[in-house]
Amino acid sequence: MNKYHKPAELYDGLRLHQNENTGVCSPKVLDALRSLRADQIGFYPPYESTTTVCAEYLGVAPDRLSLLNGLDEGIMATAVGYLRPTAGGGPAEAVVPEPAFEIFAFDTEVVGGRPVRVAPNPDFSFPLERVLEAITANTRVVFLTNPNNPTGMAMPNEAIRAVARAVPAEAVVFVDEAYAEFSGVTFIPELAAFPNVLVGRTFSKAFGLAGLRIGAITGAPGALEPIRLAVPVYSVNIAATVAVEAALRDRDYLNGYLRQVEESKSLLYAACDRLGLTYCRSAANFVLVCAGDRLNAIVNGAAARGIYLRDRSGEPGCGGCLRIATGVVEHTRRCIDVMEDILCAAR
């Protein structure tokens, strides 16, 4: 079994390698954190208010939502709840269309399941037919990401419907919507018609709360129950709960950041066109750029100048590719200046 390797802890420069909010959280979040009382910190956290606020934001009933210590916890809990081997049977299988968040396959293997990897299409469009072919009687989870990481490509909701119709009765489809704020697309309104689909969300990306670790998972109560049993009782801390409530009430701040992400992507696309680099048009807050044999020069040269980019060349179908977070416009401009400096100097 392979081990998941976290990216190096690089905090002394501009972090464009982790898909984080490259700015800061809403000032209202900081105000909420400053207002924490000693008794709130000393007692186990209550979740009713935060669950209600998050459920309202996502447009679901509170009994159809569970808070998580980051969306990563929801992925692991899904693996624990659905992929443990059963007595007398073979390993439960998780279908993972690639490229994908590495944790899907790692968590599957950790609990004794078997990841079934589906190769990508050359253009990174969703390989629906091969995903359907990969589903067997042993399938217990299909992990989907919309938009995809690292490509940023969106998946049509019809593909999710088709997968949900095809899985065995005991299985669930887990849709990772970590980047839904940027795409503006979600499967959540269709969950009532598809009780075997779960949607995971995070407040790390658009809301800038990655350091506090908070996410949520939503779906039919029956499908959520095995996951709820696998999540620790008080896994979400009090600071995260007050922070996310404050962040969700400051939609103007969120919308301002989303506008910057769109402008940043446009600037990066134009720069790639000038520099002869190909890329995927992204529905997320990052862009996958194909640099070919110039990959190492860009990644290493940018790091030497204090700008960190993510080498994704080891991912299926991503040879010669790097991923660049697109957030605050000023940060994107700095990255573009460095890329132009590196590549023009190389010429």
Please list the rounded mean pLDDT of every run of 10 residues in the chain (347 residues): 68 92 96 97 97 98 98 98 81 96 96 96 97 97 98 97 97 98 98 98 98 98 97 97 98 98 98 97 98 97 97 96 98 98 81
Residues 33 and 150 in one domain: yes
- The tokens describing 245, both together, are 């409530």
Q: Which residue type does 285 have?
A: N
- ∠ CA 176-180-183, rounded to 5°: 130
Number of domains the chain is built from: 2
Helix (H, G, I), strand (E, B) or coil at 200: strand
Report the 10 Å Cβ neighbour count for 165.
Answer: 11
Same domain membership, residue 278 and residue 212: no
Of 294, 268, 267, which is closest to residue 279 (Cα–Cα)?
A: 268
Whether residues 96 and 236 fall in one domain: yes
CA atoms within 13 A on the CB side of 119: 3
- Other beta carbons less than 10 A from residue 241's beta carbon: 23
> Could you tell me if 266 and 208 lie in one domain?
no
Residues 143 and 214 in one domain: yes
Predicted TM-score (pTM) of this structure: 0.95
Is 6 inside a domain boundary? no
pLDDT at 346: 62
Interatomic CA distance for residues 44 and 42, integer angstroms: 7
**Claim to verify: residue 190 and residue 109 sit in the same structural domain:** yes
Residue 182, token pair as written in the block: 């940027």
Q: Tokens for 91?
A: 């390993």
Q: CB–CB of 323/312 below 8 Å? A: yes
Whether residues 262 and 296 fall in one domain: yes
Structural domain ending residue among the three candidates 248, 269, 303: 248
Amino acid 89: pLDDT: 72
d(CA 52, CA 324): 34
What letters, b where the CB count within 10 A reaches 16 and e where it falls short, cover 133-163? ebbeebbbbbbbbbbbbbbbbbbeeebbbeb
Beta partners for 215?
A: 68, 202
Determine the distance from the C-alpha atom of residue 322 to the mean position of all C-alpha atoms in its chain, rounded to a whole number.
17
Residues 207 and 279 grouped into a single domain: no
Domain that holds residue 193: 27-248
Q: Where residue 228 sits, what CATH number does that domain have? A: 3.40.640.10
| Total residue count of the chain as it appears in this document | 347
Q: Is the residue at 108 inside a domain?
A: yes
Contacts of residue 214, Cβ cutoff 8 Å, sequence gap at least 6: 67, 68, 69, 70, 202, 203, 204, 236, 240, 241, 243, 244
Q: What is the reported pLDDT for 12? A: 86
Give residue 147's pLDDT.
Answer: 98
The Cα–Cα gap between 60 and 199 comes to 11
Residues 295, 161, single domain; the answer is: no
pLDDT at 3: 63
Report the distance separating Cα 176 and Cα 73, nearest Å: 12
Residue 158 lies in a domain: yes
- Residue 240 has a pLDDT of 98
